[in-house]
Chains A and B, each alone.
Chain A
Amino acid sequence: QSALTQPASVSGSPGQSITISCTGTSSDVGGYNYVSWYQQHPGKAPKLVIYDVSNRPSGVSPRFSGSKSGNTASLTISGLQAEDEADYSCSSYTSSATVVFGGGTKLTVL
Chain B
Amino acid sequence: EVQLVESGGALVQPGGSLRLSCAASGFSFRGYAMSWVRQPPGKGLEWVSTISGSGGTTFYSHSVKGRFTISRDTSKNTLSLQMNSLRADDTALYYCAKGDGYNLWRPIDYWGQGTLVTVSS
Contact = CB atoms under 8 A, between A and B. Distances in A.
A48 B44 contact: no
B42 to A, nearest CB: 10
B107 interface: yes
B47 A98 contact: yes
Contact of A99 (B44, B47, B113): B47
Contacts of A3: 44, 46
Interface residues of B, number: 23
A103 B47 CA distance: 12
B32 interface: no
A36 to B, nearest CB: 4
A98 B109 contact: no
Interface string A52-70: 1000010000000000000
Interface residues of A, number: 26
A80 to B, nearest CB: 22
B9 interface: no
Contacts of B37: 101
A46 B37 CA distance: 11
Interface of A: 1, 3, 32, 34, 36, 38, 40, 45-48, 51-52, 57, 87, 89, 91, 93, 97-104
Interface of B: 35, 37, 43-47, 50, 59-62, 95, 100, 104-105, 107-109, 111-114
30 contacts: A32-B105, A36-B107, A40-B45, A45-B111, A45-B112, A45-B114, A46-B45, A46-B95, A47-B111, A48-B100, A48-B107, A48-B109, A51-B107, A52-B107, A57-B109, A91-B45, A91-B107, A97-B59, A97-B104, A98-B47, A98-B60, A99-B47, A99-B50, A99-B59, A99-B104, A101-B37, A101-B44, A101-B45, A102-B44, A103-B44
